[in-house]
Amino acid sequence: MWPTVWSTAMETVAQNSETPQEERDVKTNPINRFTMAAIAFVAGSLFAANAALATDVAIVAAAGSGSGDARFTDPQAKLMGTGRFNVVDIIDAGVTTPSLQTLQQYDAVIVWSNLNYLDSAALGDVLADYVDGGGGVVIAVFGNTTTSANRYLTGRWSPEYDVIVPRGGTSTGSASLGAILDPGHPLIQGVNTFAGGTSGFRPTTTSLAPGSTLVAQWSDGKPLTVAGALPNRADIGFYPPSNAVSSTWWDQTTDGDILMANALEYVAGGGGGYRLTVGGTCPGSVSVSWSGAEPSRQQGIVFGSREGSSTIPGGPCAGTVLGLQGNIQLVNTVGTGGGTGSVNGRAGTAACGGFLQLITVGSCTTSNTDQIPQ
């Protein structure tokens, strides 16, 4: 049955919509509101859903002479080889700046430079928008070390979204995995060895942006993997292509692939895993599953006709950025259970192809967005 009492936070989400005011009054007429959206989820029993969730990621880099260059395809193959990603696409940022809509096809992206970006300011702007909407971004060497103009992100990106303080220069020479400062952190799980090769490209600086957490160091104390202050930001302090491309680069028999995969999964999950997956058939029976939620809380299921960026204008969650646009509405509120669960229901034709996102009542944390099947 539909809930009859809505929190102020959830009402505010529902009012951030492109529909007339008389259609916005979820509190007094929730059933009409849901009919207008042509989406009708019926709350079901919560149950554990512990299966791993497939993640779609992209390489967005100015890495080489075209997307077939080994400096693109080697990191792509390493990431796919971990078995943890559904897709790892390549976007050559030296010849194109992806749109926000393109980036939002992915849960996370990894960004670096070896050549000039097509437009470092435009790329910085769109990546900032992507992070604001819940997308995860990992920056790697040389994107977080170079002092060469148009090879580091500008525009709206820096300094707000920095993790390793950029433009500090690049150190070289043999180095390996050093101190692990937070062995329980997701960024370092499964990492036992890492050898940077005789090139050993890494940051010269040890300076981090405020609120960032140094998880592991190189053997000379330089940052190797760092969690940002934002839950969907992290940096890795090495150059992604391995010695399969050049004999002096990181040793592919060590765990550089895991370091990259961990970073992408970490930021894709909003810093530890508040993840939404939508399944089923539309129109028809649809499931909404989540993991990594705050236990024993209420969360809102929010609908938008497309992905984008919308800021909640008032109430307890004022300023929270949703990764949705178009006819934004609250569908339902459900308990998070122990942090993992699912709710089942039915979706009407007009909902097919739209997107859902979760927002936790009180803390205002948000999940990724996921598309309703069409």
Q: What pLDDT does 42 receive?
A: 26
Residue 1 lies in a domain: no
- On whether residue 360 sits in a domain, the answer given is yes
Does a structural domain hold residue 205? yes
Average the pLDDT over 219-243 and give the result.
97
Q: What is the pTM of this model?
A: 0.63
Are 261 and 278 in a shared domain?
no
| 126 and 146 share one domain | yes
Burial class (CB within 10 angstroms; exposed 0-12, middle 13-18, buried 19+) of 343: buried
Shared domain for 12 and 67, answered yes or no, is no
Contacts of 308 (CB under 8 A, 6+ apart): 100, 101, 104, 133, 323, 324, 325, 326
CA distance 279 to 286: 6
90: its two tokens: 């390549």
Question: Is residue 10 predicted with pLDDT exceeding 60?
Answer: no
In a domain, 49, yes or no: no
How many domains is the chain partitioned into structurally? 2
Reduce the DSSP state of residue 297 to 3 states and report it: coil
Residue 171 has pLDDT above 90, yes or no: yes
Residues 263 and 313 reside in one and the same domain? no
Average pLDDT, the chain: 83
Nearest to 308 by CA among 56, 105, 20, 57: 105
Amino acid (one-letter) located at 259: L
When pLDDT is cut at 50, 70 and 90, the band that residue 162 belongs to is: very high
| pLDDT surpasses 90 at 294 | no
116 and 22 in a single domain? The answer is: no
Residue, of 289 and 74, whose pLDDT is higher: 74
**Residue 246 pLDDT > 80, yes or no?**
yes
pLDDT digits (tens, 9 = 90+) for 38-81: 222 322 222 222 233 358 999 999 999 999 999 999 999 999 99
- Helix axis angle for 256-268 and 70-81, nearest 10°, is 80
Let me know whether 243 and 279 are in one domain.
Answer: no
Q: Please report, for the domain that includes residue 294, its CATH number.
A: 2.60.40.10
Pick the residue with more confidence: 83 or 208?
A: 208
Stronger pLDDT, 129 or 21, i.e. the higher one: 129
Residues 309, 223: one domain? no
Q: Domain of 77: which CATH number?
A: 3.40.50.880
Confidence band (pLDDT; 50, 70, 90) for 364? confident
* Residues 21 and 91 both lie in one domain: no
Question: Which two three-digit tokens encode residue 276?
Answer: 């939404």
Question: 3-state DSSP call for residue 12?
Answer: helix
Last-in-domain residue among 220, 242, 268: 268
Q: Does residue 17 have a pLDDT over 60?
A: no
Q: Domain check: are 260 and 204 in the same one?
A: yes
142 burial type by CB count under 10 A (0-12 exposed, 13-18 middle, 19+ buried): buried
Are 157 and 235 members of one domain?
yes
Shared-domain flag, residues 238 and 101: yes
Share of the chain above pLDDT 90, in %: 59
Section 362-374 average pLDDT: 82
Q: Which of 268, 297, 323 finishes a domain?
A: 268
Same structural domain, 284 and 264: no
pLDDT at 303 (0 to 100): 92
In a domain, 42, yes or no: no
Please, which residues have CB within 8 angstroms of residue 367's CB and are 6 or more apart in sequence?
Answer: 134, 270, 274, 275, 276, 290, 293, 357, 358, 359
Chain segment 120-150, per-residue pLDDT in tens? 999 999 999 999 999 999 999 999 999 999 9
Q: Is residue 48 part of a domain?
A: no
pLDDT recorded at residue 28: 31
Structural domain ending residue among the three candidates 217, 239, 268:
268
Q: Is residue 356 part of a domain?
A: yes
Question: What domain range includes position 236?
Answer: 55-268
- Is 244 among the domain residues? yes
